[in-house]
Structure formats: C-alpha cells, structure tokens
Amino acid sequence: MLFFKTKKVLKSVANGHVLPLEAVKDEVFSSKMMGEGYAINQHDGNVYAPIEGVVESIFPTLHAITIESKTGEKLLIHMGLDTVELKGRPFSIKVVQGQKVKTGTLLASMDLSQLEKAEKDATIIVVFPEMTKGELMKENQNVTLQDELFKF
C-alpha cells in the first residue's frame, strides 16, 4: 500500500492582489530572509487565517500575528511595511493568543486610511520563518479568500 504525503496549502490571507515575495518593497522579505511565502496588496484591510491552527503570538505593536498550523509549521502574518513604529494604532486584532482558528477566521482589520496618512505600505506578507521551500501557485493577479496560493 502506498501512502501519499498530504498536500499542504495556504489560502489567501485577504481578498486582493497576490505578489511573489521578490516584489515586496522591503529587502528583509523580498530576499526571503524571513522565509518563504507570498504577499497581498490592493486589499480591503481585513486579514484572515490562511490555514487552520492556533494563534501562537500577537506582537505588542499589533502589526504581526504568528499561527502554528495543525501540522506544526509556524506562520508569520505581517501587516504593512514599517508599521511597527505606528504602535498598533491602525490595527484591530480580532483573535487572542492561544485561540484555535480555521481557514478564513478574521484575524485583524487594518485601517487603510491611517496607513495612507502615515505614508505606510499596506502590503500583507505571509511567510514561514522556518521554511525555505514552497511553491507560489498564483502571482500578480486578483485573488479571494477561497484561492489556494502557496503549496508547501
């Protein structure tokens, strides 16, 4: 009997436009120093869980959330570029540390007008800090929460 490795896939974290990490205007992410993944821009500010798991941490500045998937991978969802200095003001977190989430659970809302006033890029970056392999399944196109974007 043959056993097949289960296909693990991340869905979109937002309704928007998917980009490869190389297109992100932040060298730490675009050079993949933070791991493999994808980015979403041109979104409505709502950020959803792209995978089932548990909220491992919420950064004190509210700009980033980590989720541990039910299969053990750690996932970082980083909201905006250079947003740490905004001290959480544009972010409304909808989950708590330790909370179980399903794919599609609303994690946070970003106030896009506040980000624009602060001249910050609202791109959402989704990376696996401990992973160097994976495949972006779609890029440079509009996507919805139902779209499978990243295979690992």
Tens of pLDDT, residues 83-127: 999 999 999 999 999 999 999 999 999 999 999 999 999 999 999
Calculate the CA 99 to chain-centre distance.
Answer: 17
Residue 148 has pLDDT above 50, yes or no: yes
Closest residue by Cα to residue 143 from 20, 8, 6: 20
Strands in 148-151's sheet, in edge-to-edge order, are 9-11, 148-151, 135-136
At 7, is the pLDDT very low, low, confident or very high (cuts 50, 70, 90)? Answer: confident
Which of these is catalytic: 17, 43, 63, 78?
Answer: 78
**Distance separating alpha carbons of residues 32 and 134, to the nearest angstrom:** 12
Residue 29 has pLDDT above 90, yes or no: yes
- The CATH architecture that domain 16-138 belongs to is Distorted Sandwich (2.70)
List the structure tokens of 50. Answer: 């792209």
Number of Cβ atoms within 10 Å of the Cβ of 89: 13
Give residues with Cβ within 8 angstroms of 97, minimum separation 6. 55, 56, 57, 58
Distances in Å between the Cα of 132 and the Cα atoms of 26, 37, 41, 62, 104 are 18, 9, 23, 26, 25
**Distance separating alpha carbons of residues 42 and 45, to the nearest angstrom:** 9
Query: Phi, psi at residue 27, to the nearest 5°?
Result: -60, -35
Residue 5: what pLDDT?
Answer: 57
**Distance separating alpha carbons of residues 132 and 125, to the nearest angstrom:** 15
Residue 71 has pLDDT above 80, yes or no: yes
Q: Is 63 a catalytic residue?
A: no
Domain ranges within the chain, ordered by starting residue? 16-138
